[in-house]
Chains A and B, each alone.
Chain A
Amino acid sequence: MSALSVTLGGESLELLPEGTIWWPSRSALMVADLHLGKAAVFRRAGLAIPEGDTRETLERLTTLIQRHRPAQVYLLGDIVHASPARDTALRQAIIDWRMGHAAVTMVAVLGNHDRRIAALRTCFDWQPEPFEAGGLWLHHHPPDAASTEGPWLAGHWHPVVKLRAGGDQLRLPAFVMLSDQGLILPAFGGLTGGHPVAPRPGQRRYPCSGQRVFLLD
């Protein structure tokens, strides 16, 4: 496993190959766009997509928590894909998972999918965006350059990069750094598609393969 260090607002952050961020000075793990319960939304609409993703996404997060032993976890929005009010199994899965990590503080920035989340009120410390932590501003929606308070982190885009060379082609989730002021995390949930991000001046992309993080431009 190899991480890649970047600096944002004077803070050193490690981009992890799993598409999450380890923030050593605050002993914090940051992760965006879990979209838990997405398969269930499909099934309720009559599309026969099997379950398994919610559990698997939470298990991957557990592995990261066990490895890094964070004091806190910051969730950058879209924790659930649809309201857990209608989905007892989803609610229970999240509550059970949370109980397993009771000692860890978990702050959840509200995303556009996190509606009617009363059932999960006690699970996370829900905060409207932006939420300030140690000099960094945590968003779900990447803010406009004009409306930023300072260096920020966000999700929402589900950034991926398409690599293409020598006849080969891959699509990988990626971190996107914008003019050294903002960092967008890839989606962590297993059943999340991606939004291709093209190269642009003043922007750096960091595709991650699960084993390694690369710097693209």
Chain B
Amino acid sequence: MEARRPLRLCLDVLAQHLVTLATGGGFEASSTLEEIRTTHAFSDLSQEAWDWTLTFITRGGPVLEAYPDFHRVARDHQGLFRIADRRQAARHRMSIGTITSDAAMQVRYQGGGHLGTIEESFIARLRPGDVFLFAGRSLELLRVRDLTAYVRRAGRRRQAVPRWQGGRLPLSGMLADRVLELLAEAADGQYREPEMGALRPLLEIQRQWSALPVPGRLLVERTRSREGEHLFIYPFAGRLAHEGLATLLAWRLAQQTPATFSIAANDYGFELLGAEMPALQEADLRPLLSPEGLVDDLLNSMNASELARRQFRDIARIAGLIFQGYPGRGKSDRQLQASSGLIFDTIARYDPDHRLVDQARREVLEEALEIHRLRQTLTRIEQARIHLAETERFTPLAFPLWAERLRNRLSSQTWEDRVARMIGQLEKSADRP
């Protein structure tokens, strides 16, 4: 079985739970604290963190002048904490839960008839007239209104296939090890399992264009495309470790010359994409992938990347910092809408000691950038041979990384330089016949 580490001391979840209690019969502080401490997740909850959370739901935050007019939960005359008013209670009930996913959209026929739900992020990429496959039918998108996608049957066969973001769940290191062993067998020309046999044509292409990753050998691929220089590395250490490794490598590269990298990671490896990339021979790669200075470099790289800001998205939703609107009401209450990025920036600026911003940073460090796992991977890389391959096109292993939509960026350049370079690049491609 794979290890799943339970999350601990998630103040966003605690805040939501307390507001839920306040929305019900109200709660009494000391007995609730006692009860909360009986759970595994909050057994080490400090008095200080508890006080902060109570302050967060009653006054907004400890910096009093920063939160005038805030009211969500208040103490009644019996000393019980209760929700401030019915509208807040209604709003809170709508957002109870900790599974954060993309907004689901209804799919309906133009003339009525409900077909099912689909992720908003998928529909957002389609334009009216586009055809997609859903509920076993070919459907043409007509329009999108109030979280409903109106469709009609399409005659055309070329369709987009919806995808749910299940790919976000990481594969464990153990499974990745096993995959690596199977690839080693394939490298010897052995395809024993029927699944491996089915993959054979793809793996043969991978071997011809580049190489198959095997235990004890680190595969590094470089490809040039219209977008820029791609560097693919396949340590097979699981998605989370790759995110950390990629951030670390991008940070170290960006220290040599100012640069901006776009980062993608999956369970097999990661990709850095930049407008320029220095020549990297084995001797150049070794220090970049060395475990030396790991902790300092990771802490620095986190500030230069968008990792914490992204992590905050879920935290903000769970803690009730974001109002997602009422179902079916669509665009009403628009004056209460702000993106989690904007809220992250505002809080980091005007209440820098905010515990939830802190939690976002901590979760990134503990999960994505889990130090001991990264050190282990780097040590393994130190002992591995490096196989460098320059490829004309994306190899079968590289392609899913290139296509990955969830990307993180790390930059050591000023905005002005980045804008000037991007505009230059856009003009160049526009001039192309």
Cα-based distance from A193 to B341 in the complex (angstroms): 10
**Identity of the chain A residue whose Cβ is nearest the Cβ of B414 in the assembled complex:** A211
Inter-chain CA distance A167–B60, complex, in Å, is: 38
- Which chain A residues border B291 with CB–CB below 8 Å? none
Encoded as 1 (CB less than 8 Å from any B CB) or 0, chain A from 160 to 196 comes to 0001111111101000000000000000001101000
* Chain A residues within 8 Å of B343, by CB: 49
Smallest CB separation, B424 vs chain A (Å): 8
B419 touches A43 (CB 8 A): no
Chain A proximity mask over B308-348: 1 for CB below 8 Å, otherwise 0: 00000000000011110000000000011111001100110
Interface of B is mostly: mixed
* Among A22-30, A50-58, A68-76, A117-125, the stretch in contact with B: A50-58
Interface of A is mostly: loop
Contact between B61 and A50, CB atoms less than 8 A apart: yes
A43 to B259, alpha carbons, bound, how many Å? 39
Bound Cα distance from A47 to B321, whole angstroms:
5
Of listed A51, A52, A164, A168, residue having the most chain B CB within 10 A: A168
Q: Residues of B contacting A64 with CB < 8 Å? A: none
A210 at the interface (CB under 8 A from B): yes
Neighbouring A residues of B350 by C-beta, 8 Å: 50-53
Contacts known (A168-B275, A209-B416); A193 close to B66, Cβ less than 8 A: no
Q: How far is the CB of B274 from chain A (nearest CB, A)?
A: 6
Task: Indicate the size class of the contact surface on chain A.
Answer: 35 or more
Query: B: which residues have CB within 8 A of A?
Result: 56-57, 60-61, 63, 65-72, 84, 88, 91, 227-228, 260-262, 273-275, 320-323, 335-339, 342-343, 346-347, 349-351, 354, 409, 411, 414-416, 418-423, 425-426, 429
The answer to whether B228 touches A166 (Cβ under 8 A) is: yes
Q: Mark A30-51, 1 if CB is under 8 A from B, else 0.
A: 0000000001111111111111
Q: How far is the CA of A61 from the CA of B63 in the complex (A)?
A: 26
Tell me which of B56, B70, B227, B336 contacts A167 (CB under 8 A): B227
User: A167 to B69, Cβ gap below 8 A?
Assistant: no
Q: Given A43-B69, A48-B70, A166-B273, A53 and B346 touching (CB < 8 A)?
A: yes
State the Cβ distance, B84 to closest chain A Cβ, in Å. Answer: 7
